[in-house]
Every structure is written in structure tokens, then in C-alpha cells.
Amino acid sequence: MRNKLVAFVFLMVFLGNAALAQDPVFSQFFASPVFINPAFSGVTLSPKISLVYRNQWHGLNDAYQTFGVSYDQSLEAYNSGFGAMALMDKEGEGIYQTARFSGLYGYKLNFNHDWTIRFGVEAGFFQKTIDWNRLIFTDQLNPITGQTDPLGNPGITEEIQPGDLQHAALDVSAGILLYNSNFYAGLSVKHLNSPNQSLLAINDNLNIGLPYLISFQAGTEITLDGRNNQKSRAFISPNLLVIKQGPFGQADVGAYFGLGQFFAGAWYRNGFENPDAAIFLAGFREGILRVGYSFDFTLSRLAVWNPGGTHEISITLNFDDSQQQKRRRKAARINDCFQIFR
């Protein structure tokens, strides 16, 4: 299995921005929504810090690991929000890595007594890196002895190492978010400048730029105990996330349930043509701290390889949940549908 992963990683690097390009997406997208739509910048009055770790298909020698951290907060005096985020994505046990760093800005516009629209932009850069010495090529494999010759010496490849094993590029995205006290809907487009992510410029026709990632988010919030403007109220939030990037796509549909200090959720992810995963979430909150754990049960044909599912952990520090900020929110009569994101 290790050789299969190495070969897969090499194909991704070799083909650059062809059909294999796909961004990582967190199952707990609500823990740090700025990763999918910059218009979410500043939906909380106070600073919010989120950390997310994803170990996808850990049974395949930790095929994909993704680390994300974000910070955002509101500037109510200017109807604005700002933030920053960083993401590290490791593929093939870290042979192929992507690091992203971005700044965020959002602007809020109230156009009647209940409805609000937010516009968001994101600008930053990413860097692709490959550990060439860990790649294994076909001419290094002996049909009998594997990665060594009959004397036990490592196989030698005739592949020529490229001069640059790193590549960086500017990346720009934008989004829009519409919401009121009961409903939200957002649309974002990532990689508006179609940055080139290839490490190997083999054929100019392949370097067509990173495909747009188009994301649609929507949901509603149903209060179950009749209380308003209380962080402890029980609620359920059905929501939908649809993503399309190049030939790839997914739709996540499910619901998030909150009751006092505890929350849970369940989603079904479909890859447009095939089932992908069933996602289950559980977590708790205490003061400004929220911790969530989710597990993706693989439903696709990959299940025959026993990939081991996907673990994801999120930690959020939301200073909106301090006692002082709760009083501030109540005094401001802020009533929106963003409990799932707080």
C-alpha cells in the first residue's frame, strides 16, 4: 500500500493542475467557516480562534493529514470583519505538502430590519513542496526483491530531479453571505486568479491553473425551547454544503443539534456520482471553549481497501461566549442564525 500512495502522490505532482487537483475540505466546516467562505469573517463580535485537525483514511498509512488555524473578529464601528488563516496539508505521509496563508476581510450591509448581507475577500499565497528523496519510481523496483537489488542495496532511479522542489503562488478568493435570524445562505469562489500549482512544467497545456472551488452553503436554525438571545438555548440547525472543483464535487447534508454545554450532529456526504461518507459529530462547550470530534465512515468503493475512516478534531476559543460579551450581545439585540458557527 505504501508504494501505491507514493505513486499516487507522484502523479499529482507530475500532472500539476490537471484533473487531480482538489482542495481539502473539513467535515466540521462550521468550526472555522472562513476556510470555505471569507464572507464569514467577523460573524462573531469578539475574537474567535479555531484549530482543526483532520486525519483522512488513517488506515492507508496516514494518506492525508490537514491542519488548519484561523482567527477572525468583528469591527462593528466599520460594519467590517477581518481575520487570517493558515493551513498545512500533507499527502502520502508528508511526501507532498501544501502550506497556505491568507488574510481575510468582510463587509456587512443591513438592507432591512432583519436581513443582512456580507461580502468577503481573501488574499494570500500557497507553497507546494515535495520530498524527492522519498519518492519511489518503477525503475527502482525489482520484481523479486522489491525496493532493493538481490544484494540488499536500495534501487537506483534514472529519473532526473527537478531544479526546484518548491513552488509558491498568489491566491485570491471571494464570497457573499445572506442571512437573517432564521436562515443563512452563502456562495464563494476560491482561486479566482487560477494560480499555477505545478512543480514540474512538463507540458504547458497541463499548467492551466488551479480550478475554481465553488462552494454553496445554506442552513436554518430552529429554536426548540422558545428562548431567544440565550447561548444555552436548545436548537437544531439543518444545513447543506455543496462544493464543485474541476471534475470533483460533493454535497454534505445533515443537521447540528445544540443543548446547553453539549452538541452533536450527523451528515451524509455524496460525491455527486457515488456515496462518500456518513459523518457523526459529538462535542461540548464550556465558557469560551468548544471542542468537537467527528468521524467519517467511508461508504465509497474505497471501503474495500479498509481505509480506516477519517478522524477530525476541532478546538474553538470564542470570546463571544464570555459573560461580558453575552451581555453585550443581548443589549445589542443581535439575533442571527449563527449558533452553529459559534
Identify the residue whose cell numbers are 462518500.
276
The amino acid sitting at 231 is K
DSSP type of residue 142: B
Which range of residues forms the domain containing residue 266? 2-341
Structural domains in the chain (count):
1
Of 213, 204, 208, nearest to 172 (Cα)? 213
CATH code, 215: 2.40.160.40
CA angle 175, 181, 186 (to 5 degrees): 15
Question: Which DSSP string do the residues of 50-87 spell out, in sequence order?
Answer: EEEEEEETTTTTS-EEEEEEEEEEEEGGGTEEEEEEEE
Output the tens digit of pLDDT for each of the chain's 342 residues. Answer: 344 444 444 444 444 433 355 799 999 999 999 999 999 999 988 899 999 999 988 777 767 899 999 999 999 889 999 999 999 999 877 888 999 999 999 999 988 778 999 999 999 999 999 888 777 777 777 777 677 767 767 777 777 777 778 889 999 999 999 999 899 999 999 999 999 877 765 555 455 688 999 999 999 999 887 655 555 679 999 999 999 998 899 999 999 999 989 999 999 999 888 899 999 999 999 989 999 999 999 898 777 677 778 999 999 999 876 666 655 655 555 567 788 888
Whole-angstrom distance, CA of residue 248 vs CA of residue 278: 18
- Global pTM reads 0.85
Give Cα 1 distance to the centre of its chain: 26
- Look at residue 278 in the predicted model and tell me its pLDDT: 96
